[in-house]
Chains A and B, each alone.
Chain A
Amino acid sequence: MVSFYGKEFKSRLLIGSALYPSPAIMQDAIRASGAGIVTVSLRRESAGGKTGDAFWSLIRELDVTVLPNTAGCRSVREAVTTAKLARELFGTSWIKLEVIADNDTLQPDVVGLVEAADILIKNGFEVFPYCTEDLSVAMRLVDAGCKVVMPWAAPIGSARGIINADALKLMRDRLPDITLVVDAGLGAPSHAAEALELGYDAVLLNTAVAKAADPVAMANAFRLAVEAGRIGFEAGLMGARDFASPSTPVIGTPFWHAVS
């Protein structure tokens, strides 16, 4: 089980609701993923947050916990306003906080992010901040009161997987009590498994599933990868070595095999 602000979830996969070929495929893919938390965007799917009731009712049918996000927000003020709108619309104090600095990379504006997180937490929100792998930023977010921190693996939608594993490892080591989620940039199930193997509590993804040729099958693949990664982490991964280490004793091996 994994805990987000005191709420327990069986699945360590959080999934987005955008970009699917149809709402029906979105529903099937989310079910196949086993995810208990689904992110929904107020800005990306709808102009001004007036997304159709029909679409929301399809999400509600899934019986999942909704995590609204502030995707597309470019300033602290915009993100805070969107978060408040989301709280009203969905009746939840959870918010995935995105403050975007740069349109090319969709890189988080980490300064604005900390500021917005601080404001929202003081307003009673439980914040899931989307940040870079920078430890100092993560620590500021924790100082502001975030119990969950979500560093990227790589830029949103880039499908590059974890590009700075050392930094993510360091963040895991330094923030052992915080729920850490790798968010954005995962392209393949193996990327998700790697995040869980690093000790991350969960992963959040959208494009890799929604834009797959078969989103439902891909959702299933990610579910299995996340489970495998977590089991691998719990089982205790062996450390990497510089040289070969035989799994079978060499004593008793004829010398012409031992030296060949």
Chain B
Amino acid sequence: MLAKAGHAVTLHERSDQAMRDATSHWAGGMLAPWCEAEVSEPVVSRLGLRALDLWREELPDTPFNGSLVVAHARDRADFERFAKMTSSHTRLDAAGVAEIEPSLEGRFRDGLFYPGEGHVEPRRVLPQLHARITAAGGIIKYNSEQQPKDLDGLVIDCRGLAARDDASTPKLRGVKGEIIIVETDEVQLSRPVRLMHPRWPLYVIPRADNRFMLGATSIEGEDTGVSVRSALELLGAAYAVHPAFAEARILEFGSGLRPAFPDNLPRIAIDKNTIAVNGLYRHGFLLAPALAELTLNYVQRGEIDNEVMQCK
């Protein structure tokens, strides 16, 4: 956005082009502002809705097929609570679920369909975005770990947890998310399926080449790797969505740390020539375009969004 607006942009990325060290490598890429409203403040929905529009503009060829929420019969109470606390959904009966996801025929008595939602595949969409930055005249430097104070010009600091030691990001913490990627051609899904879980939102997200991402846990801790407990829960969720997942091949286990402030809300902290954008928590892909736009509006016109921005 900044490069398109005519600014000379250099992007410093700590890892290589594949960005395996980045949290986004392990992200689900869910664009689900309505579902997230269950546990998020209204500002997440506001920014998420704007970001959805921006994603649609940026990726006109990517189908956004909505998302489907289902529950195991025993989690019925959680399902009803979820329906009550979220909006813009349609209730589906068993036939309705089977109509939009034929693979799930006979599996669930009812579901909640959020037609406005979507998802992107982070590992595919990031290279596309990189190409656009370059096409707009921006420069990307990989394997370039920089401190904001060592850079000239206006610095936009999006380092996530790596920015924790700075005075501008007090109380930033890591919230661990674990995922599993499996492969099977026995299940076809056209949209992410969310399964009610008492603690975490668990999704089965279809990806290209018969792959599915199962994620993600949300654990207050900063260790790495995937625990057996989490693996059981994630694989159990997939199996509950469809027993054919029992025969799927496990391709990857992975985990990332989501940068979060105590209120789990994003912040744009402005301090002279440094703008720190951080705390996207589990809404990285959902909120990033909206936060980029707010940053651009500030840089171009000095516009302040009081809900998200803090000026020194």
Contacts and interface: CB of A to CB of B under 8 A. Distances in A.
Interface of A: 18-19, 21-25, 27, 44-48, 50-55, 58, 104, 157, 159, 211, 213
A45 B220 contact: yes
B94 interface: no
Contacts of B40: 21
A50 B229 CA distance: 14
B60 interface: no
B111 interface: no
Contacts of A211: 81
Contact of B174 (A23, A45, A54): A54
Interface of B: 39-41, 74, 77, 81, 85, 171-175, 198-199, 219-223, 227, 229-230, 260-265
B264 A21 contact: yes
A52 B221 contact: yes
Given A24-B263, A157-B198, 13 more contacts: A22-B39, A22-B262, A45-B219, A47-B221, A48-B223, A50-B222, A52-B220, A54-B171, A54-B172, A54-B174, A54-B222, A58-B262, A104-B74
Contacts of A58: 171, 262
A50 B199 contact: no
A47 B229 contact: yes
A159 B173 CA distance: 32
Chain A's interface: helix, strand, loop or mixed, by majority? loop
Contacts of A46: 219-221
A213 B221 contact: no
A24 B262 contact: yes
Contacts of B74: 104
23 contacts: A21-B39, A21-B41, A21-B264, A22-B39, A23-B262, A23-B264, A25-B263, A27-B262, A45-B219, A46-B219, A46-B221, A47-B221, A48-B223, A48-B227, A50-B223, A51-B219, A52-B175, A52-B220, A52-B221, A54-B171, A54-B174, A55-B173, A211-B81
Contacts of B265: 22
Given A19-B199, A55-B173, A50 B221 contact: yes
Kindly name the residue among A21, A23, A48 whose own CB sees the greatest number of chain B CB atoms within 10 A.
Answer: A23
Contacts of A52: 173-175, 220-222
B227 A47 contact: yes
B266 to A, nearest CB: 12
A19 B200 CA distance: 9
Contacts of B222: 50, 52-54
A213 B198 contact: no
Contacts of A44: 199
Closest A-B pairs by Cβ, 10 of them: A54-B173, A47-B227, A24-B263, A22-B264, A55-B220, A24-B262, A21-B39, A46-B221, A23-B262, A50-B223
Given A157-B198, A211-B81, A213-B85, A45 B262 contact: no
A47 B222 CA distance: 10
Nearest to B225: A47
Q: Which of B41, B81, B263 has the most CB of A within 10 A?
A: B263
Most buried by B among A25, A54, A159: A54
A29 to B, nearest CB: 13
Contact of B219 (A27, A47, A53, A104): A47
A51 B174 CA distance: 10
Nearest to B164: A54
A19 B74 CA distance: 19
A207 to B, nearest CB: 9
A19 to B, nearest CB: 7
A24 B260 CA distance: 11
A33 B173 CA distance: 25
Contacts of B171: 54, 58
A213 B229 CA distance: 29
A159 B198 CA distance: 13
Contacts of B261: 24
A23 B265 CA distance: 11
Contacts of A27: 262
